[in-house]
Structures are given as structure tokens and as C-alpha cells.
Amino acid sequence: MTDLRVCHLYPEHLNIYADRGNIAVLRARCRWRGIGFAAIACGPGDPLPDADLYYVGGGQDRDQLLIEDDLVGRAANLRAAIDDGAWMLAVCGGYQMLGHYYRGHQGDEMRGTGLVDLVTEAGPTRMIGNISIDCELRPGQPLTVVGFENHAGRTRLGEGVRPLGRVLHGHGNNGRDGGEGAHAGRIVGTYIHGPLLPKNPALADLLIAEALGRRHGTVALEPLDDRLEGMAHDAALAIAAG
């Protein structure tokens, strides 16, 4: 049977703005299609489960600090899993920890996993508000992704790392270069909460299809009735445009 295995990293620590809703969407969209689904929680000290998709949500600086050592200690295993075909989705605080470091506004520095060549430094103000981006995670399949952002961190991508998308409305990575998030191979990072996936079903399906590919090859996902999700998406897009 086709099934998706998701590892939810630090659900007790990194789960701001209902980020766990992303797991609920992945579960629902698999089940509606008769695809098996398992989400395995992985907290500090737990063994890293074998998974098709590793997911980490957002959190405040102090929450990130609580899992810093554990997450950094998993960097090599996560790298190996991704090289083996797994995907990773990281939101906000989790996204920042994909990089080399996160420097707080007081100069305190937290290490990241270095899975993606990026760094984050907090600024004096928070970047808060509704956001929309143009995204082309899969070449030739442009999407508009919508949601909400709230971060002090300004993220800069290394040379050769592509943003997940271009900001239409909102701040994105740093409020300056027009980029939002990062897409590096099978790793996707984004500042977008909302949570991200309920209003962006096309992005959810893309991640499901790609992650299923690790063990099941190319899987054609049956279309779902996304009228409600589409309305939520379009409403969020209009709100972001002000």
C-alpha cells in the first residue's frame, strides 16, 4: 500500500501559530486518497525515525534554544536521510535553524544544522503581517503561496541557494532582497505560518508527491475537491495585497 511517513521534529517545542496544522493537512490529503499516513513525533533524545518527510515548525527564540543542541547533533543523520531521498519542510524558527547560525538582537548566537547555506540575524523590529509569494518549487508549475509571517530574524541565503519564492506582498527573508524562504534540493524552508499548508493545497500536494517518491516512485495524486481551500487561499491573497 502507498503510504507516507512523516517525522514531526520537536512538536512540543516548535509549534507556534498552530504549525502542527501542517501535519493535519498532510494526513487528511493522504487519507482522502486512500494513501496510508503516519506522523512520528521526535523530541530531544528520541531516535530519529526513518521518514519520507521531516517536518519542523516555528517557535520563539527561547524554544529554539531548548532544542539547539539536540537538533545540531542530528545534522549528519538528517543530511543522510535527505541524500537518501527524504524531503524536509521547515517553518520560521525551524527554517532559521537549517542555516549556520541565528544571532539574536542582543548578539547571542545559536548554532544551526548548516543543512542549507544561510544565516539569520535578528533586527530591532519584527517583520509581521500577511504575506504572499510567487513560488516555483517544481519548474513549470508556478504557485502563489499565502500566509502570515512574524519574525525578528533576517535571513540571508548563500550564493547558489534559491529562495522558495519572490515576495508579492510582505517582508520575506529580510525585507530587502525580495526573496522568501529557501529551496535547496529536497529541503524547503519558509517563514510562512498560517499554518502554511491548509490554504496552500497545491504546495501540500507537491510535497506529498515528492516525498512519496522516495519509496514509491512517481505517484499521480488523485485531484481533491479544493473549493474551500481555494477560497481560503484567495481570501488570504486579497488580505495580503491590502
Residue numbers annotated as active site: 92, 193
CB 102, min distance to ligand GLN, A: 7
Given a contact cutoff of 8 angstroms between Cβ atoms, the answer to whether 189 and 164 are in contact is yes
**128 or 228: whose CB is closer to ligand GLN?**
128
* Partners of 53 in beta bridges: 6, 87
Binding mask 169-208 for ligand GLN (x = CB under 6 A): ----------------------------------------
**80 or 128: whose CB is closer to ligand GLN?**
128
State which of residues 27, 33, 37, 61 lies at the interface with ligand GLN (CB under 6 A).
61
At 55 the three-state DSSP class reads strand
Phi, psi angles (nearest 5°) of residue 2: -70, 130
**165 or 195: whose CB is closer to ligand GLN?**
195
Angle at 207 between CA 201 and CA 208, to 5 degrees: 85
Cell of 171: 517582508
Alpha carbon 238 to chain centroid distance?
23
State which of residues 112, 153, 181, 189 lies at the interface with ligand GLN (CB under 6 A).
153
Given a contact cutoff of 8 angstroms between Cβ atoms, the answer to whether 241 and 131 are in contact is no
**87 or 191: whose CB is closer to ligand GLN?**
191
| Residues engaged in binding ligand GLN (CB under 6 A) | 16, 58-61, 64, 92-93, 96, 122, 150-153
